[in-house]
Chain A
């Protein structure tokens, strides 16, 4: 199996992402290219639903690498993130050794704590050599776990190695492609960020969002897609508790096409607002008349642009 080469320039990175239907802006392509080229982890921060996790999926698909995902949560610990011993098998091995009359304790211990009984969790898996090239390691939503785990990650991200006390240090022959994402529900410590290249993924501008929409929802009518994007863009300027992300735009557009809508009207928008806004007071703020004024503005702007 041959290893697919990494993109050779910023343009190539853009093309690579576009090939898998990820419409990135140049700043993201630049930082991604640098991360790949310099072998540094990439720390991606941004609001929910702007396509942070998607970057890792697209990278793994286009480069033909294995995607190893570590979803962070409160209480994530070493035994579910790095390794665990297969205790059942170990117990049996000890009993067998005894039955065979093996009396050397050190020998049994050495046998029992060998790689055969090691269950590898995502971080350890990511350090293993892979015929398709180093895997893509996605450490998703790191802000959900606690500072202690962050501190542990420092060793992994700086030297691409982990230490298993019974076995010794495992070091990756080739560093994996590491992507760390955060929703910023808490500040991640500077020490971790320092080891990474940083990128903030913002909401796309109208042009790019339209491209994304047309790539992801291929059947959408031209007029509807323009209206959807313009409406969402206008909505982001409103004073909302949670602004709709790209994921919400796509959901909404999907819902509208399912409903066979060809053009937006206030009633449809009000009925389907739940796909865009996820907080009750945001929905309450956008009552019928408000939707109508917003929609009228959007439509007149679109007409003017024609």
Chain B
């Protein structure tokens, strides 16, 4: 039986409601679920505390990313139907449950519960929580969809900025951190206490639930016929790829545009992971003579995280002016050239290497942030959340494909005795090839054939009305 308070009709904004309350509501969800990017902090703790292998310690994160795509695809239509508060409450519930199961698994030394809690249950929280704030923001900002999606998805990237230091501080406080021995500096090895890791998950689960609460309390959907002050739907660009018509999620996946965009997103993400996955070892192998190498490599990882986050907002906002297709030309085309520059210069020019990697990672983040607005341009806002959910399976695929390609190639290079730029060169060449394929797919995207579009009643709805029309259509 549905709980009325959670349903879409209960959260229609009253007259005088400001749309500037919606971005913080969306951010509270995305900053929380972005915790997933902070998983690497737990890997050494789990490996030394529970005695699991490197592969096993990566498994909860990998499963979570797979579940993100699957749950977004499976529940996308329901999320669109029930509304953002329902989705946010479900996401918060799965988030808390996932972290509690993970904590219980650590208290009882049952690693399968960590995989179940973090990988499966928290992964569902990611999928449900990711798409709803994005589609809601696009309905509140029909005049600036790129900015709107950039704000929310920057929050997901920013989640790592919060999660990494917070998790590290909690692990230290509860004795769950791993410290490698350093005889030169008189530092003894510290083996993590699994109970300390469990307590960290417990505190994180409760804290993030409180942070997310503001999101589902404040979230609203625009009333029928609402539009921003001084903006007329007729002002919206309708030329080129941008449509005023709508396509259902069911029909969208029958179009070549959806699958071309799927490949574009998948390869753009895979290329970004090429550097992100091994950022610290790449830096250490490229510039082994750097003073304070470990700290410098940590600084490199930090600056990439910042580029990932800022790129989401900056490039996506620019897409409102330059157009979505042009932005992907930039991400994929210039991205391939920057990878080529890294291959050519090797370790010969550190500032240029830093600039290239920073811009590549900013394009990686931007690819995530611009794609919802690209979907809105192609398919309208009618079921854009559900379509976005289905597209996120590309991310799941890339989440498995990217690390697999990079690790397999670099490991084989290392086995042959190659180190430094030479060890990473073949992996980077593969990334260039993927980016070129993505570039070609982006070039092939054309306006959606009218036979896939919804009949006029749904299609003529003004921003904010689509939800009501969607209800009627169902």
The judgment on whether A and B are partners is no
**Interface on B for A, CB 8 Å cutoff?**
none
